[in-house]
Structure 1
Amino acid sequence: MNRRNKGLGWVFVLVAALLLTVTPFMSGSGSVAFAQTDAKAVTNDQLMPVVGGALVEAGQAQWTEASKDLKEFRTLWEAAKTNGGDSTHIAAVDQALTDAEQTLASGGGEPAKAALSVLARSVNEYVTAAEGDKPAPAGAKAAEKLLPMAKGSLAAMQKGDWAASRVDYDRIVKAWYQVETPIRLDNFPVYSSLETKISLIRISMQAEPIRQEQALKEMQELTTLLSDYSQGKSVNTGQGTDTGNTATGTANGSAASLTDAVTLLESARQDAVANQSEQAADKVVQFIALWPSVEGHVQISDPTSYTAIENEMTETSGYLLSSPPNTDKAIQTLDQMLDRLRPLTEERSYTAWDAALILLREGLEAILVLAALLAYAKKSGEAVAGRWIWAGAGTGLVLSGILAVLFTTLVAAAASGSMRELLEGVTGLVAVVLMLTVGSWLHSKSNAAAWNRFVENSVGNALARGSLWSLFAVSALAILREGAETAIFYVGMAPAIETSQLLIGIGSATIILVILAFAIIKFSVRLPIRAFFLTATVLIYYLVFRFLGESIHSLQVAGKLPGHTASSLPSISWLGMYPTWETFVPQIAVLIFMVWQLVRQEMRSSKQQ
């Protein structure tokens, strides 16, 4: 934490802070418009910067300052909500504000940070709902709003007035919460560089004593970056030269993973324990630079952890760079960050059972179709028909193998860098569509009459026409369809399952299928068709529900879909449930559809019996 001057310096800071909290942005001329507490003067744009400021101060354990911001927010909010809006969102903000006030009055700490995070989300949801479909400002226009603050802070640094510099810097931090989304969507490399610069400046100013040379250097670079980007000039972000107009289309921006981030923090902790504070600080700075590449994953998986880590990573650097270093507090904060991030690196894993389930379901269905075709052909006295059916099955199996190799090759070529999450999402959604159609088809055959009609249509019509090629085609397509579906399912599952688990699942399922195929075809062993199809349908529907949630989650991480989080939504990794509305609503909708399908088919089957 930086030291503040006394006397007139305190007066300047308090007056400037007052101007800041009631006016989120200065105009280009530097004039300031005082906010009034009447409803007409208070706009929704004034709400988030004040909440953002309270979050920043809470992250720095500045509870008195956070309470002041919250008090001012209360004044603004009481005026703003009279403008109207959705009653549910207004009630949510009222409750979150009351909770935040109570936790701050009780002394702050982690409960206060959590309460302020809930308040920030509630305010954001209220503002979003009030604005409706109002388009977000363009990235360059949003960055332009930060430029006067950066110039003001830089000028103060150059004069050695660090109290005044801190005032303008705090205004940048508060405004950043409002403008980061349009900048991120417009140009991820610029967004990443801006967020890193803002964090590094905070670190330099939090160190005791202030690292003046480093803070000045970073502020100069931040000002140049904002100026060039807002004017549409070529921008050097440290990630290659960028035109300032190219959207990356990905939330990752690089091949860095959350596991890489955790590894950096673990290494920093080891250095801190060994009292190598400079090395530890360097690794935390590397983490800060990497953070924009993984923050999207954290934000849509655990919003509370995302907000906490945004503050904790700069706190840690401040502890390590102070003179003398406060390694005990740094280690404590690093442990908190690791406790938040480690669970997120372990989610979305499939087991050998999941892998076996797909092959068992697809393989057993193929075996039943093949056995039924052979049995019907034998019953009809057409011995030659059996050879054509076997030839078709073999051809279908070979084509399935070729298709699997093709899929694997294409996936291996595409699954690199930022394409990985996108590929997972797309293949997962394709698998969901297939599973839904297959599940519906399976359930429609779950009574004996429907099954017999299927076999008769497949074989009886072919024999009636005397077309043995038709039998070959029916058999080949039956096997090929199951093989293609199996390949697509495994492509969607492969990135989230260990190779050993995948091989164990496929191997065990293959052994079971060979035994069942031999028993069914050689000895005419009868399976309970209805029980098999019902069980297989329910299991497939479980995978549909899980694949759907995890596929949408992957597209969110890839930046192709938005992620609106809510603390009230469930987060259950083995069901593919995440606390975002974009995953929750489709999963509930498809769950209702699947239950309706089951009930409808059961009612139809009972009428046919």
Structure 2
Amino acid sequence: MLVPFLIMLREGMEAALIVSIIASYLKQSGQGRWMHAIVIGVVLAIIASLGLGFGLTSMEAEFPQKEQELFEAAVALIAVVILTSMVFWMRKAARSIKQQLHDSIQSALDNSQNKVWALIGMAFFAVAREGLESVFFLMAAFQQDVGWQAPVGAVLGVVVSIALGVGLYYGGIRLDLRRFFRWTGIFILFVAAGLFSGAIRALHEAGIWNHLQTIAFDLTQTLPEGSPVGVVLGGIFGYHDAPAIGEVLAWFIYLIPAVFLFLAGSKPASAARQAV
């Protein structure tokens, strides 16, 4: 439940931040009459994301067992790529995203023959990008956690992010967004490492990858993955009580360089606060 909640909170906050910046600029620049275009773009993006999720889920259900394992591996790998690119993109974009959006909005208002469609497109792609990332992540996460807690956590994450987005728009909430994205970014890299390790396991079960399958360690008696602690570790770190050597290596091969590069490119907290 924790992982879907935090991921959807992060994804929702990115979308809410962008939409709130667009809406605030329209309001402050006296262009509030175009606000309905933002609403339309957001609604269309939500519908498109839900449609994609439903379509992929229905497609998976039709596959035989081997193809299902291969599909799960593909979804996990796509989720790893998307989550990683999202983390590094926001680390870089957070420094200038407000000014870039303001320039894009003003350009759309000044140069577009149809301002409504230009603004709908901006809102649509801002939310659809996060929706696409969320679809692949949630599909990969739900494959590891099939209980009711995961969907509830995802919904709660979206609800909280919407509430925070409304608070940011009306000025009632102040957040250190750089610190928020920094720490959630590190958390997401750990989640992505678990997904990458799980993809290696799914490839083995599909008969595609059959190397390094010797059991690295066996904690089935000490810390079974079905125990409360095992479930938490599985959801966050992709923990398994008897992983193969290839799975363990995949976890570290992804995580170590990803975290190093992320931290190396991040500003210190004091500098981040001064730049806000």
Deviation at 1:493, TM superposition (A): 1.6
Letter in 1 for 2:86: V
Deviation at 1:508, TM superposition (A): 2.3
Aligned to 1:462: 108
Question: Quick one: structure 1 residues 411 and 385, their matched pair in 2 at CA, closer, same or farther if it must change by over 3 Å?
Answer: same
Aligned mate of 2:20, from 371, 384, 396: 371
Contact preservation (8 Å) 1:356, 1:509: yes
Question: Quick one: structure 1 residues 535 and 582, their matched pair in 2 at CA, closer, same or farther if it must change by over 3 Å?
Answer: closer
1:491 alignment partner, SS class: helix
Aligned to 2:126: 478
Deviation at 1:576, TM superposition (A): 3.0
For the pair 1:511 / 2:176, whether they are aligned, the reply is: no
Q: Kindly report the root-mean-square deviation, in angstroms, between the aligned alpha carbons of the 2 structures.
A: 2.7
Deviation at 1:446, TM superposition (A): 3.7
For the pair 1:595 / 2:244, whether they are aligned, the reply is: no
For the pair 1:382 / 2:28, whether they are aligned, the reply is: no
Deviation at 1:355, TM superposition (A): 1.7
Aligned mate of 1:393, from 31, 37, 42: 42
Contact preservation (8 Å) 2:37, 2:119: yes
For the pair 1:492 / 2:140, whether they are aligned, the reply is: yes
Q: Distance in 2 between matches of 1:491 and 1:585?
A: 20
Letter in 2 for 1:576: G
For the pair 1:439 / 2:87, whether they are aligned, the reply is: yes
Deviation at 1:514, TM superposition (A): 3.8
Contact preservation (8 Å) 1:552, 1:582: yes
Deviation at 1:541, TM superposition (A): 0.9
Contact preservation (8 Å) 1:446, 1:531: no
Q: Distance in 2 between matches of 1:597 and 1:355?
A: 22
Q: Distance in 2 between matches of 1:510 and 1:549?
A: 27
Aligned to 2:62: 413
Question: Quick one: structure 1 residues 600 and 424, their matched pair in 2 at CA, closer, same or farther if it must change by over 3 Å?
Answer: same
Q: What is the CA deviation profile of residues 110-149 of structure 1, one whole-angstrom value per residue up to 9, with x for unaligned ones?
A: xxxxxxxxxxxxxxxxxxxxxxxxxxxxxxxxxxxxxxxx
1:499 alignment partner, SS class: coil
Letter in 2 for 1:394: V
For the pair 1:576 / 2:225, whether they are aligned, the reply is: no
Contact preservation (8 Å) 1:411, 1:491: no
Structure 1 alignment gaps of length 5 or more:
1-351
Q: Distance in 1 between matches of 2:13 and 2:103?
A: 20
Q: Distance in 1 between matches of 2:139 and 2:162?
A: 23
1:563 alignment partner, SS class: coil
TM-score with structure 1 setting the length: 0.39
Letter in 1 for 2:106: G
For the pair 1:555 / 2:203, whether they are aligned, the reply is: yes
1:381 alignment partner, SS class: coil
Q: Distance in 1 between matches of 2:256 and 2:194?
A: 11
Letter in 1 for 2:99: R
1:360 alignment partner, SS class: helix
Q: Distance in 2 between matches of 1:464 and 1:598?
A: 39
Aligned mate of 2:168, from 520, 525, 529: 520
Structure 1 segment 203-352 matched on structure 2, within 5 A? 352=1
User: Over alpha carbons, which structure has the higher Rg?
Assistant: 1
Q: Distance in 2 between matches of 1:493 and 1:536?
A: 17
Q: Distance in 2 between matches of 1:570 and 1:456?
A: 55
Letter in 2 for 1:365: E
More contact order relative to length (CA 8 Å, sep ≥ 6): 2
Letter in 1 for 2:252: Q
2:212 alignment partner, SS class: coil
Q: What is the CA deviation profile of residues 262-305 of structure 1, one whole-angstrom value per residue up to 9, with x for unaligned ones?
A: xxxxxxxxxxxxxxxxxxxxxxxxxxxxxxxxxxxxxxxxxxxx
In the alignment of these two chains, the number of paired residues is 254
For the pair 1:536 / 2:184, whether they are aligned, the reply is: yes
Aligned to 2:7: 358
Q: What is the CA deviation profile of residues 455-474 of structure 1, one whole-angstrom value per residue up to 9, with x for unaligned ones?
A: 22432322232452222101
2:211 alignment partner, SS class: coil
Contact preservation (8 Å) 2:20, 2:166: no
Deviation at 1:545, TM superposition (A): 1.0
Q: What is the CA deviation profile of residues 390-411 of structure 1, one whole-angstrom value per residue up to 9, with x for unaligned ones?
A: 2211211222222221122112
Q: Distance in 2 between matches of 1:580 and 1:568?
A: 5
Q: Distance in 1 between matches of 2:177 and 2:25?
A: 16
- Is the deviation greater in 433-442 or in 562-571? 562-571
Question: Quick one: structure 1 residues 563 and 579, their matched pair in 2 at CA, closer, same or farther if it must change by over 3 Å?
Answer: same
Seq. identity, %: 22
Contact preservation (8 Å) 2:186, 2:259: no
Question: Quick one: structure 1 residues 552 and 366, their matched pair in 2 at CA, closer, same or farther if it must change by over 3 Å?
Answer: same
Deviation at 1:429, TM superposition (A): 0.4
Structure 1 segment 166-181 matched on structure 2, within 5 A? none
Deviation at 1:379, TM superposition (A): 1.8
Question: Quick one: structure 1 residues 570 and 389, their matched pair in 2 at CA, closer, same or farther if it must change by over 3 Å?
Answer: farther
2:209 alignment partner, SS class: coil
